[in-house]
Every structure is written in structure tokens, then in C-alpha cells.
Amino acid sequence: MPPFLRFALDLVEVYFQVVHARLPFLNPTHFRARLNVNVPQYASIYANNPSASGASAEESLHPALMATVIAWGAKFSEHPLLVADRLNSSTRQSGLAKTLIIRSREVAEALKVHRVPAAEHVVIALLIEPLQSRAFPSVPSFVALRVAAAVLTSSPSLRVARDTR
């Protein structure tokens, strides 16, 4: 198995060990079964994480979901490559992890995750928003998104208008 594939699969496991406890949007068994459709070697490497049988080609993973899970894994991974990258950075943040975060956002935008209504797109958006907001704290557009969401959910006049539709 290529080392980059093993690295990516390790990042998926880090996601489920660290991030999933805080943001439980994915069913680990179902995700791993779908991952096995994309990466058949997965089940042989992680035998302690049995995949659900019966996953079909229609259930392959959305590329933006996979990119987002890998980016979250990179953010918290203690892999020697990422640790060395953090130590060599003046901010003590991994440049590789930041690049994966940027790429996950680019994949989501290219596949119109934020524009096409689908249940999986909602999950991707819920996972990617806090990831990219933490990566770019000085960018006002992410702050504006949170402010707009807060206004829509807390304003009684907007809530009434929204509820009467």
C-alpha cells in the first residue's frame, strides 16, 4: 500500500478518535463501510473497525466529505510528519494541515456543496464551517456568516416572518 494512502487512512481514524466525540455528525460504521467501497484495503488495515457489509457503489464517499474528514484528522494528528511541520512553523500550526483545510473547502466549492440541497451536503457544511473558521480567524467573511446565522435565529421579527411562509 502506498504510504500516502496509509497516512490518509490514519487521519480518518484520528478524526473518529478526536473530532467525532465533539461533532458526531457521521455514523462511524456506515462511514467506514463507504470508505471500504472507495479504498478496499481499508478493512484489511483496520480490522478492529469492522465495516458494515452490503455497501454498494452508490454509497461511495462524497469527495468533499472525505477531504473534510482528512483535514480534521490532520489538525489533531500526532503523526511525525505533522509534528515536525508544527515544530518548524513560527505559529506552531502545521502548514500541511492548513493546506488540507484549504483544499477541503475548494473541493466543497467545486462540487457546489453549499448550493445544491442534499442531506450529505448539510453534514459536509456543518463539518467544514468550524474547520475553516478556526483556520482563518482574521477573515471577516466567516465572522459574517456566524453573525448572519445568529441574527436569523435570534431575531423575533425574522423568526415570525420565516415561520409564516
**pLDDT recorded at residue 35:** 86
How confident is the model over 9-47, as pLDDT tens digits?
999 999 999 999 999 999 999 998 888 877 766 655 555
**pLDDT recorded at residue 83:** 94
Q: Which residue has the cell 411562509?
A: 165
Helices 3-14 and 63-76 sit at what angle, rounded to 10 degrees?
A: 80
pTM (2 d.p.): 0.73
Under the banding of pLDDT at 50, 70 and 90, the label for residue 164 is very low
CB 63 within 8 A of CB 111: yes
How confident is the model over 84-124, as pLDDT tens digits?
999 999 888 899 999 999 999 999 999 999 999 999 999 99
Q: Which of 64, 79, 58, 72 is nearest to 6 (CA)?
A: 79
Residue 155 has pLDDT above 50, yes or no: no
Rounded distance between C-alpha atoms, residue 95 and residue 134, angstroms: 14
**pLDDT recorded at residue 111:** 94
Euclidean distance between the first and final Cα of the chain, in Å? 54
**pLDDT recorded at residue 160:** 40
Range name among 31-45, 79-93, 128-142, 148-162 with the lowest pLDDT average: 148-162
Joined together, the cell numbers standing for residue 41 give 484495503
How confident is the model over 38-60, as pLDDT tens digits?
776 665 555 554 444 445 545 78
How much is the average pLDDT of 59-86? 94
